[in-house]
Structure 1
């Protein structure tokens, strides 16, 4: 093969017609090129670093669903026995101030934390939920009663109040539901922000995190001015917000014939833009995907408090589809207590019920519809950092499976836990004892409650359905528990019971120093019968919390129920 011959004076492979042919680069052209290259390198380094950090924030956990549970409403919702995976994680509500001037944390202003452990078995039921692989968020605030940040007039007391709840229930996530007058109180907002920032710093110094969601009312056009101010306070004081959960409910305005699902989507789009602005003002610019991951939505399922506003299963499916598309950080619902059709005896479906939704759900639950694609769980493993551009990040992310803390299945040759009367809060079950409805016993380190009269039925005897056993499993015996002691009061606190006296509903008496309250008119019925048959007895023993209130001089007269 012969070598090519080039014309004299022309370099090989030069294009004779090229405009650059024979030209040399000037110093300024070289300098400009170097500047451009440096800028590209800097953008690629620092821009990529910023993008990765931001995506890491957006991927703290997989999108999760956790329905709200009204913990104090009766009858109790059995959150400790989730029927489906959609009910595994719950938002227990609401912890508030004991009164407008009392900074003591309470459940619904009705139970102190200790009283809730006794009367509602909150601690034990939380332990049972965790045995089954679920986990609770505790929500502070709500629309009624007084928010802790309002009642606690200094940051130190407020911080201690929050911490007492977080430590007692070993919480990794809390929800701050701020509404009504508590939302418009800017001083309370400042105390709340400072206290939460301090708690997060303390937890991180110990190697733990405290995930904080802010739940706020919204309109289709976004957060109110009070809501945006509260978010700004949180960011300015250094609170690391997991996100803002908006209450897509009770708008009270003309919705222009839009579905409740679409109105919720409108609100989410509006708040997304508001959050972008607020984070920029706070000195942080988040990607579009990160902002969506910091958003949640909580519809009021079925009939809302506002007449004409009804959130249907179709609305739930529409909201869920949008949530999956945008990868919202959280979906929820108010409330799991209401997630069922009303019975035929509930006639006025336009009136909100605490126990049913007011719409025909058939066999479908709102929780199952909203949970689709949101099964990350509260304790899910963080997702890996991704370098997918924000504009392409709308696909469904992998959903980690929460690690169950349920005890391993007991083999045939394993011995069941031994029950010790000294560490059992209630009597140990015995085959020859009659138990009436509401009686609690301990069996194999677990507390059970009788659903109806029973004799000889072993509490943990295997059955095919829950309706086949007279026992309801409440939860495990907790570390440090001791036998329940019947509370007493000093002689003379109330009149001693007399078989010749007539008592009306609400009258209080002492029987062997144990205080009782009359449930209805009675004469000659001894309070001792209440121990044997709580349902049929006209007498009800006072709880430890009520006795403590009497001892503190706050229970009123002997005729007070």
Structure 2
């Protein structure tokens, strides 16, 4: 994925000074979103692969983009879970948010508690496109699992998202295996936490490294609850609905081939994490397109639907920045969140 400007993980390079004031400041006088029509589904309806509480948890980043107060987004949309991004290396194998913010007593801990106080769930994402990743800096699976455990102990999330992309993790066979082996340790120590792998895709599906990731996860018996693709930054797309569906169908087919699952199971193990509004490559996912994709995902029984990011889920008034705090497409405030809240597994 060419996450040069908007892509997942880009904010890892943002200066820490941006967080000194108003990390949890409320969004200003924006028009309210229409009231939610249906609440999000936060747990699968059956058991077996993919039956974990991961359905709808869009990404919330506290490093830029006027991060909103989560309870206001929950009230406006029906969303009940958020994925806090990103846990990276704060030096060696020591985890820190964006590589600089503490696990305890910092913005993420405060936000996680606010989400829980409002009755929501907290997910945490590791990795992303840019910044210092833990995968290459933790020498063994045990060390990587230990770093992840520190985040679990600090925030008590219900799900973990391992956003494996870029050459330092996705394009490195040793690091891929290290992370996948660590997932077994993490799951053994935290059996109730759902584990998600998120990775990049082309219009036609996973590249050779993405295919290897799936194959090795199966070979190593990694306890993955959902595999999610990020269907954007295709190098340009004239039909984001068709290209997203094609990419997700490719992932489903790969999962069937690798694991021997039937179609229903493979769909349940498949997820889509889109980019609301304008992507790095100028592709545009409108609220109307996202609604169609949500309905397709619900009809097929996908296990996860997410987007990057909550910070950008609002229109761009004069002075708005689609890189960090608005979508660059016509919408109501928090409209993508409201649409996503209607997702059904």
Q: TM-score, normalised by structure 2?
A: 0.81
SS in 2 for 1:200: helix
Q: Which blocks of at least 5 consecutive residues in structure 2 are unaligned?
A: 1-45
Q: Which residue of 1 aligns with 2:336?
A: 366
CA contact (8 A) 1:272 1:292 kept: yes
Please tell me whether residue 287 in structure 1 is matched to residue 262 in structure 2. yes
Listed as ranges, the matches of 1:412-561 within 5 Å are none
Instruction: Work out which structure has the larger RCO, using CA pairs closer than 8 Å and 6 or more positions apart in sequence.
Output: 2
Q: Which residue of 2 aligns with 1:499?
A: none
Structure 1 residues 62, 92: closer, same or farther in 2, change over 3 A? closer
Q: Which residue of 2 aligns with 1:187?
A: 174
Structure 1 residues 154, 363: closer, same or farther in 2, change over 3 A? closer
Structure 1 residue runs of 4 or more that deviate by more than 6 Å after TM superposition: none
Listed as ranges, the matches of 1:233-244 within 5 Å are 233-244=216-227
How far, CA to CA, are the matches of 1:228 and 1:80 in structure 2? 38
How far, CA to CA, are the matches of 2:280 and 2:322 in structure 1? 6
SS in 1 for 2:307: coil
CA contact (8 A) 1:96 1:108 kept: yes
How far, CA to CA, are the matches of 2:142 and 2:289 in structure 1? 43
Which of 320, 332, 338 is residue 306 of structure 2 equivalent to? 332
Q: Which residue of 2 aligns with 1:90?
A: 82
Deviation at 1:59, TM superposition (A): 6.4
After superposition, give the CA deviation of every residue in 1:526-554 in whole Å (9 maximum; x if it has no partner). xxxxxxxxxxxxxxxxxxxxxxxxxxxxx
Query: What is the RMSD computed on CA atoms of the aligned residues?
Result: 2.0
Deviation at 1:362, TM superposition (A): 3.5
Rg comparison, structure with higher value = 1
How far, CA to CA, are the matches of 1:134 and 1:364 in structure 2? 17
SS in 2 for 1:357: coil
How far, CA to CA, are the matches of 2:59 and 2:53 in structure 1? 19
SS in 1 for 2:48: helix
Structure 1 residues 193, 363: closer, same or farther in 2, change over 3 A? closer
After superposition, give the CA deviation of every residue in 1:480-501 in whole Å (9 maximum; x if it has no partner). xxxxxxxxxxxxxxxxxxxxxx
After superposition, give the CA deviation of every residue in 1:45-94 in whole Å (9 maximum; x if it has no partner). xxxxxxxxxx7325624772111111222533322543334332001000
Which of 107, 111, 115 is residue 97 of structure 2 equivalent to? 107
Q: Return the structure number with greater helix share.
A: 2
Q: Which residue of 2 aligns with 1:210?
A: 193
Structure 1 residues 94, 65: closer, same or farther in 2, change over 3 A? same
Please tell me whether residue 200 in structure 1 is matched to residue 200 in structure 2. no
Which of 146, 154, 157 is residue 171 of structure 1 equivalent to? 157
Q: Which residue of 2 aligns with 1:250?
A: 233
Q: Which residue of 1 aligns with 2:47?
A: 56
Which of 43, 47, 62 is residue 71 of structure 1 equivalent to? 62
Q: Which residue of 1 aligns with 2:148?
A: 162
Q: Which residue of 2 aligns with 1:297?
A: 272
After superposition, give the CA deviation of every residue in 1:298-336 in whole Å (9 maximum; x if it has no partner). 1111010112x1111111011011111101101001000
How far, CA to CA, are the matches of 1:373 and 1:339 in structure 2? 17
How far, CA to CA, are the matches of 2:275 and 2:254 in structure 1? 23
After superposition, give the CA deviation of every residue in 1:24-53 in whole Å (9 maximum; x if it has no partner). xxxxxxxxxxxxxxxxxxxxxxxxxxxxxx
Structure 1 residues 338, 154: closer, same or farther in 2, change over 3 A? same
